[in-house]
Amino acid sequence: MQITHVEAIPVRIKRDEAYLGALPPEADREAYFLRPPYRALYSAYFETAFVKISTEDGVVGWGEALAPVAPEVVQQIIEQLLAPALIGRSPLDVNVLWNVMYDLMRERGYYGGFMLDAISACDIALWDLCGKMLGQPVYQLLGGAFRERVPCYVSGLPRPTAAGRVELAQTYTAQGFDAFKLAAGHGVRADAKSVGALRDALGDETTLLLDAHWVYALDEAVQLGHALTDLGAGFFEAPINPEDVESHAQLAAAVAVPIAHGETERTRYQFRPWLMQKAADILQPDVGRAGISEVFKIAIMAEAFNVKMAPHLSVGLGICIAATIQVAAAIPNLYLLEYQPPVFDIANALLESPLVCRDGCYEIPYGAGLGVALDEDRLRHLQA
């Protein structure tokens, strides 16, 4: 059964609130904007890029890249560079095809970024196709499920005050959730105080995590790391610039709180120095940036170093979420998976049958492939 057609579909969905809270009133809603103290560009929309890969027998696989800005770039890479390499090939050669796609621009230095995001979308679609062709869920093709449900943490708590964040967290504890991550990076004292307010309100049994968005220098990160240790935090995510492996290694050696890293990396090659230098205790690759194939390989490599996995799950929609759940079910060294309620609701609006997250866990989709089906008519209506 050969691949006959590859189509990339960029999508933009209007939003009012997401991971970091309400949009700034001064933001130009037709453009990208900055949200200090963070340095990355953000969009006034949920932006993503889907890929539809079809075979000669009419079987369709869906993939999705994590493309929070400029999804048209992913579209162009898929349709101009990757599609010609996939058409005429068997989807069952998924591992071979990952290497074929990666090698297309490898000698030109495209080891990450948009190129790997595009490869990841195609990789997810190929796994979806394989599962549908063989009548098995992806986790089964990866060797089986280590767990019946995938434990998760509520990510973000997008409220401007400590009291507001506590109140929001308590609405989730009433629903059976007991792990939370704060978006931080507002200064050592402010971040420690934010985590402390949650600890005081939610008690010692709640898992608390902190995402610093790479804003700290090493000395500041050490100070905050000690404070988080005292507060019993589960991990300290993205504390220092992502290129600085050595400083992360020094930080990991200096503090007891686990250091988490990985949403910026795409391949096992990029994660290898983090393991070799003991610079991270928990790895966080994103399936929408690394694909099913690479995240699974990264997890197996991390297991050899006794390092756990907490896959990043940002603003990717239904296909990204389903693919991540499938991988999370199939790896032995899972810590927790990310859950963003506002994103989850929008993701489900594009699916024929919704994904389920309740009582602190994702339900695993048990259908063939990724176990979900996109509402293609609605998707086309939102096409950018």
Catalytic residue annotation = 312
C-alpha–C-alpha distance, residues 279 and 21, integer Å = 30
To which H or E segment does residue 199 belong?
Answer: helix 188-202
Burial of 205 (0-12, 13-18, 19+ CB in 10 A): exposed
DSSP letter assigned to residue 333 = T
- Token pair, residue 187, equals 């200064």
Match 């200096």 to its residue by tokens: 254
For tokens 């933009």, what's the residue? 12
Query: Does residue 365 contact residue 322 with C-beta atoms inside 8 Å?
Result: yes
Q: Are 98 and 294 in contact (CB under 8 A)?
A: yes
DSSP β-bridge partners for residue 339: 154
The answer for residues whose C-beta is within 8 angstroms of residue 35's C-beta and 6 or more apart is 20, 24, 42
Phi, psi of 278, deg, nearest 5: 55, 45
Task: Report in angstroms the alpha-carbon separations of 152 from 76, 209, 298, 317, 339.
Answer: 34, 12, 20, 16, 6
Q: Are 270 and 111 in contact (CB under 8 A)?
A: yes
Query: What CA–CA distance (Å, rounded) separates 199 from 187?
Result: 18
